[in-house]
Amino acid sequence: QVQLQESGPGLVKPSQTLSLTCIVSGGSISSGGYYWSWIRQHPGKGLEWIGYIYNSGITYYNPSLKSRVTISVDTSKNQLSLKLSSVTAADTAVYYCARDLKGYGELDYWGQGTLVTVSS
């Protein structure tokens, strides 16, 4: 059974960089041809796709966030990372990592999510 667990600071100051990690257990992040994704959910709002990484290095980002987002993997630690630069209060959200079966939005395993608040 695949499990994902996000971790990172719960509070980030405006203009700084948000950094989160997602540890994957129950399977190798570098096998299976899956797409490893980040999604966020603003408080009381809907879901927003941030981007994904596959083949251990190929990335694709939501164009609305592309200039500020970096997704990477560390295969030795079996973990996924998200960096979002120049954050503002609008980036306050619950951030989820998830596995996408084929890169078309079939997100079959999710982490429990981690709330990140941007505030001074």
Partner 1 sequence: QSALTQPASVSGSPGQSITISCTGSNSDIGLYNFVSWYQQHPGKAPKLMIYDVSYRPSGVSNRFSGSKSGNTASLTISGLQAEDEADYYCSSYTSSTSQVFGGGTKLTVL
Residues found near partner 1 in the complex (CB under 8 A): 46-49, 52, 60, 62-64, 96, 101, 103-108, 110-113
Shortest CB 5 distance to partner 1, Å: 11
Quickly count helices (H) and strands (E) in the chain.
Answer: 0, 11
Shortest CB 90 distance to partner 1, Å: 15
Cα-based torsion angle of the residue sequence 70, 18, 64, 34 in order, rounded to the nearest 10 degrees: 50
Question: 11-20 b/e with 16+ CB inside 10 Å = b?
Answer: ebeeeeebeb
Q: Which is nearer to partner 1, 14 or 33 (CB)?
A: 33
Per the structure block, which two tokens stand in for 60?
């694709």
Shortest CB 19 distance to partner 1, Å: 20
Q: Which is nearer to partner 1, 16 or 94 (CB)?
A: 94
